[in-house]
């Protein structure tokens, strides 16, 4: 079983956004980065499937040089090797470009199964996985909460809205986008970190001729849709004022 | 021309479809709007839209009776090829997310997802969408000459704002889909377990997020929930970690609620959470990060340490 996991590096949850001078992208030099959380679940699922069905787990990423940080982390958690489509322009690429970059680097590997997170915590297009399936000409399903493999077929539990689920069958090879919470994550051990240093990261240049499908005209802090009454003061003062307002003004208590 | 891809289940259109029609009307200017309804025996759904758009295209085929991404992408591809819209609008549902990226590639179009606002009309329009977990809002423009596909976030436009006039025609459109090209075989949808609690009925909800930090601290929130006579609920990561059961999850993958009072405790307010609760009458946000997106929808906000504020609230309520 040859499994690919596509991962992305995104700003950390604690990151406070700052914009470039043109206000069209973030100031990358101020950001600290981490593994996109849904991708961490996809990686964990791949490692569990390898434990059950043998084979190898290959981490695939499309991004600038700094992405090596999360590739090393994935290798330390147990992935066998990595493919890195490296180009600075990929930092802010849209989903059509990112999926084309990954597809070009991954096609010859003929993976049995490709896993991605269901969306990224930066641009959040939620398109790369599905577009990658189309480019690799394999079937897909999205927002997956359980994966079963029998012979050359998949049976996966897909999350629908409002607490509903559905099992979907499909032949391998296939691509799945993985929902957060599908499993419990493991973290890298010291042994894993040491072993990762010797694992192969194959660098692939970005193919030319990929045209952006969208342009960010402006980035800004969101505007408030409501007039928010901010309540200041010490904790007891703020608590007292909030309870008063909820009782007298909002009549919600 | 703008094409709206309607979504129905068991012959009933969902509210997100009507919201998408409202978005199409905002974008259209003087351009005509058509809607396409896909399925089998879904004529009633098509009729529901007839007075809101200039023409409804009714695409009925055996392969569309049960949703699969392969069949729906093929159908949309064929309809777009025949009516050649400038824009294709979809509701931003889990179903759309499953097949719209394939459809967009096959029609050589561009796809912009999760759109919450439209600026301008026609070809010059730009679109607003959240980025970086709602910390930033982007204004984005399509590039290239292909059809411009857009998915409209739930709740961004109002279903009751749809302008209706004289009913236009409902036109059957034939598609050619070979059943053997459909690779996914779906089984019947099901619910995991009987829901212990229907949060949709709760008057007051106290929801906890990552700011609660550990499972042990859930008890602190439970004391506050008791003091304010509220049901306890959570954002997705809390349920993923198993700190509260999945049936207490609020958001796109959990329950959608509109209680009298919603208190968000240590919840940053990613769009997936906001869509599940922004209909609440009064929203309180308590968060250590003054820039957390949850404050954008809050009526009352306290910036501070929830581990100090929650006990203070409990003692205030118990006075």
Full set of structural domains in chain A with CATH: 2-205 (3.40.50.620), 228-253 (no CATH)
pTM for the model:
0.91
- Interchain CB distance below 8 Å, A170 and B69: no
**Domain check: are B204 and B177 in the same one?**
no
Name which of B138, B209, B255, B287 to mutate to probe chain A: the one with the most chain A Cβ atoms within 10 A of its Cβ: B138
| B39 and B11 together in one domain | yes
B92 contacts chain A (CB < 8 A)? no
Q: What is the DSSP string of chain B?
A: -EEEE--EETTEE-HHHHHHHHHHHHHHTTS-EEEEEEESS-HHHHHHHTTTSSEEEEEE-GGGSS--HHHHHHHHHHHHHHH--SEEEEE-SHHHHHHHHHHHHHTT-EEEEEE-EEESSGGG-EEEEEEGGGTEEEEEEE-SSS-EEEEEPTTSS-GGG----S---EEE------GGG---EE---EESS--S--GGG-SEEEEE-GGG-SGGGHHHHHHHHHHTT-EEEE-HHHHHTTSS-GGGBBSTTSB----SEEEEES----HHHHHHHTT-SEEEEEES-TT-GGGGT-SEEEES-HHHHHHHHHHHHT-
In a domain, B79, yes or no: yes
In a domain, B138, yes or no: yes
B299 reaches A (C-beta below 8 A): yes
B42 in any annotated domain: yes
Same structural domain, B123 and B9? yes
Mean pLDDT computed over every residue of chain A: 95
Question: Each residue's pLDDT tens digit in chain A (253 positions)?
Answer: 999 999 999 999 889 999 999 999 999 999 999 999 999 999 999 999 999 999 999 999 999 999 999 999 999 999 999 999 999 999 999 999 999 999 999 999 999 999 999 999 999 999 999 999 999 999 999 999 999 999 889 999 999 987 789 999 999 999 999 999 899 998 899 999 999 999 999 999 998 889 999 999 999 998 877 889 999 999 999 999 999 999 999 999 9
Residue B58 gets the label, from left (phi > 0), alpha (psi -120 to 50) or beta, of beta
CATH number at residue B160: 3.40.50.620
Query: In this structure, is residue B237 part of a structural domain?
Result: yes
Same domain, B43 and B166: yes
Show which of B149, B181, B213 is a domain's final residue. Answer: B181
Please, which residues have CB within 8 angstroms of residue B226's CB and are 6 or more apart in sequence? Answer: none
CATH number of the domain residue B225 falls in: 3.40.50.1220
* Cβ–Cβ gap B94/A122 under 8 Å: no
**pLDDT tens digits along B234-274:** 999 999 888 999 889 999 888 889 899 999 999 999 988 99
Give the C-alpha separation, B210 to B203, whole Å. 23
Domain containing B204 equals 199-317
What's the structural domain count of chain B?
A: 2
- The answer as to whether B194 is a domain residue is no
Residues B110, A228: C-beta atoms closer than 8 Å: no
**Does B47 share its domain with B171?**
yes
- Whether A229 contacts A245, CB under 8 Å: yes
**Contact between chains at B313 and A245 (C-beta distance less than 8 A):** no
Residues 233-272 on B with a CB inside 8 Å of A are: 236-237, 239-241, 246-247, 252-256, 260-261, 268, 271
């Amino acid at each position: 079983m040859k499994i690919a996991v596509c991962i992305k590096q995104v700003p950390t949850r604690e990151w406070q956004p700052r914009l470039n001078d043109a206000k069209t992208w973030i100031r990358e030099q101020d950001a600290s980065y981490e593994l996109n959380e849904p991708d961490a679940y996809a990686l964990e699922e791949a490692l569990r499937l390898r434990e059950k069905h043998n084979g190898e787990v290959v981490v695939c990423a499309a991004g600038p040089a700094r992405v090596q940080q999360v590739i090393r982390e994935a290798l330390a958690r147990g992935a066998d090797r990595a493919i890195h489509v490296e180009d600075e322009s990929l930092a802010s690429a849209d989903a059509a470009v990112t999926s084309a970059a990954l597809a070009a680097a991954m096609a010859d590997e003929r993976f049995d199964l490709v896993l991605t997170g269901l969306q990224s915590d930066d641009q959040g297009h939620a398109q790369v996985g599905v577009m990658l399936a189309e480019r690799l000409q394999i079937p897909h399903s999205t927002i997956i909460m359980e994966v079963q493999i029998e012979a050359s077929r998949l049976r996966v539990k897909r999350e629908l809205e409002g607490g509903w689920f559905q099992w979907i069958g499909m032949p391998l090879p296939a691509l799945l986008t993985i929902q957060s919470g599908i499993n419990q994550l493991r973290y890298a051990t010291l042994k894993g970190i040491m072993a990762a240093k010797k694992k192969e990261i194959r660098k692939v240049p970005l193919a030319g001729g990929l045209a952006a499908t969208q342009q960010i005209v402006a980035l800004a802090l969101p505007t408030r849709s409501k007039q928010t009454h901010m309540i200041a003061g010490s904790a007891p003062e703020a608590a007292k004022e909030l309870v008063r307002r909820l009782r007298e003004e909002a009549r919600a208590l | 021309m703008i094409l709206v891809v309607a979504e129905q289940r068991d012959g009933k259109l969902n509210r997100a479809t009507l919201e998408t029609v409202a978005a199409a009307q905002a974008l259209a200017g003087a351009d005509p709007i058509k809607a396409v309804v896909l399925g089998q025996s879904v004529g009633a759904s098509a009729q529901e839209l007839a007075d809101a758009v200039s023409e409804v295209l009714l695409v009925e085929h055996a392969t569309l009776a049960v949703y699969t991404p392969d069949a729906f992408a093929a159908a949309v591809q064929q309809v777009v090829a025949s009516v050649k819209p400038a824009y294709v609008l979809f509701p931003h549902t889990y179903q759309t997310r499953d097949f719209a990226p394939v459809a967009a590639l096959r029609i050589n179009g561009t796809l912009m997802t999760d759109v919450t606002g439209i600026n301008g009309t026609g070809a010059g329009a730009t679109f607003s969408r959240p980025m970086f977990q709602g910390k930033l809002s982007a204004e984005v423009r399509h590039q290239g000459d292909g059809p411009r596909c857009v998915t409209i976030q739930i709740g961004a436009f109002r279903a009751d704002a749809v302008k209706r006039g004289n009913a236009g025609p409902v036109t059957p459109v034939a598609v050619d889909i070979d059943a053997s090209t459909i690779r996914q075989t779906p089984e019947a949808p099901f619910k995991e377990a009987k829901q212990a609690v229907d949060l949709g009925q709760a008057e007051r909800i106290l929801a906890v997020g990552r700011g609660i930090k550990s499972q042990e601290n859930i008890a602190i929130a439970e004391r506050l929930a008791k003091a304010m006579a509220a049901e306890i609920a959570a954002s997705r990561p809390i349920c993923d970690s198993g700190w509260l059961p999945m049936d207490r999850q609020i958001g796109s993958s959990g329950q959608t609620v509109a209680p009298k009072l919603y208190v968000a405790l240590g919840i940053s307010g990613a769009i997936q959470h906001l869509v599940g609760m922004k209909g609440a009458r009064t929203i309180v946000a308590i968060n250590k990060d003054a820039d957390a997106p949850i404050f954008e929808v809050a009526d009352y906000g306290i910036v501070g340490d929830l581990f100090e504020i929650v006990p203070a609230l409990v003692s205030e309520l118990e006075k």
